[in-house]
């Protein structure tokens, strides 16, 4: 499948600014439409990511940041696997308002494209799922996520296949490896939004 095909799969993929994306989410979250779409589209990224994460993070008491948590789908999966200390962060208040109670111990409204408020080496692990996609978070955000991750901490994330090269995530991943900021444990294509025939790169890395 070529990039042009993916560009037109979902309406939000056409948006190119934070303002347009935020406005879209206001409408998308009405009457639970977002979560309904995730079910009807067979969105598998949260399950795939947490399953991989769990293989490499046996300690269930670690302090996790779910960056770009949306409506809490990844948090729900993390909780199923026994993780309890999870901070959820997203740039859409409307999405945060959809999150069920008792999934995250803390919720934050943040923009992952900006400098984050957290101190260096703050979190034991980070998940970032469905966020590296069209019109959302750019590749440079990985530098900030690594900064706030503890040494030897894990970061597990997806990248929509349509923007992997278009937004230069391929180059950023190589750069971070060349600069010895992290070691890639695993990176491979996986199912993402199945009923839209969209795949994603799923990556897990350990901070040096």
CA distance linking residue 15 with residue 107, whole number of Å: 26
DSSP-based three-state secondary structure for 43? strand
CA distance linking residue 41 with residue 25, whole number of Å: 17
Q: What average pLDDT does the structure give for the chain?
A: 95
Strands of the sheet with 123-132, listed across from one edge: 106-109, 86-90, 64-67, 123-132, 149-160, 198-207, 182-193
| Eight-state DSSP code of residue 100 | P
The 10s digit of each residue's pLDDT in 1-42 is 444 578 889 999 999 888 999 999 999 999 889 999 999 999
The 10s digit of each residue's pLDDT in 132-182 is 999 999 999 999 999 999 999 999 999 999 999 999 999 999 999 999 999
Query: What is the second-level CATH architecture of the domain 3-98+119-207?
Result: 3-Layer(aba) Sandwich (3.40)
Confidence of residue 86 (pLDDT cuts 50, 70, 90): very high
Within the chain, residue ranges assigned H as helices are 3-7, 18-28, 33-40, 45-56, 73-80, 93-96, 141-147, 169-178
Q: Which pTM does this prediction carry?
A: 0.95
Residue 55 clears pLDDT 90, i.e. is over it: yes
CB atoms within 10 A of CB 130: 24
Confidence of residue 100 (pLDDT cuts 50, 70, 90): very high
């Amino acid at each position: 499948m070529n990039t042009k095909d993916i560009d037109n799969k979902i309406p939000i993929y056409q948006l190119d600014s934070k303002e347009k994306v935020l406005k879209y989410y206001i409408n998308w979250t009405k009457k639970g439409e977002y979560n309904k779409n995730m079910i009807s589209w067979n969105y598998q990224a949260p399950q795939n990511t947490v399953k991989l994460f769990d293989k490499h993070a046996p300690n269930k008491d670690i302090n996790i940041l779910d960056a770009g948590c949306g409506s809490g789908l990844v948090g729900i999966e993390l909780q199923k696997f026994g993780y309890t200390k999870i901070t959820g962060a997203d740039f859409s208040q409307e999405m945060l308002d959809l999150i069920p109670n008792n999934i995250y111990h803390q919720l934050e409204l943040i923009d992952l494209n900006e400098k984050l408020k957290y101190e260096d080496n703050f979190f034991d692990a980070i998940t970032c799922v469905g966020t590296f996609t069209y019109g959302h978070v750019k590749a440079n955000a990985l530098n900030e996520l690594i900064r706030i991750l503890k040494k030897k901490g894990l970061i597990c994330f997806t990248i929509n296949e349509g923007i992997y090269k278009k937004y230069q995530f391929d180059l950023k991943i190589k750069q971070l490896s060349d600069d010895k900021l992290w070691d890639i444990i695993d990176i491979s294509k996986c199912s993402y939004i199945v009923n839209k025939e969209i795949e994603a790169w799923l990556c897990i890395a350990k901070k040096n």
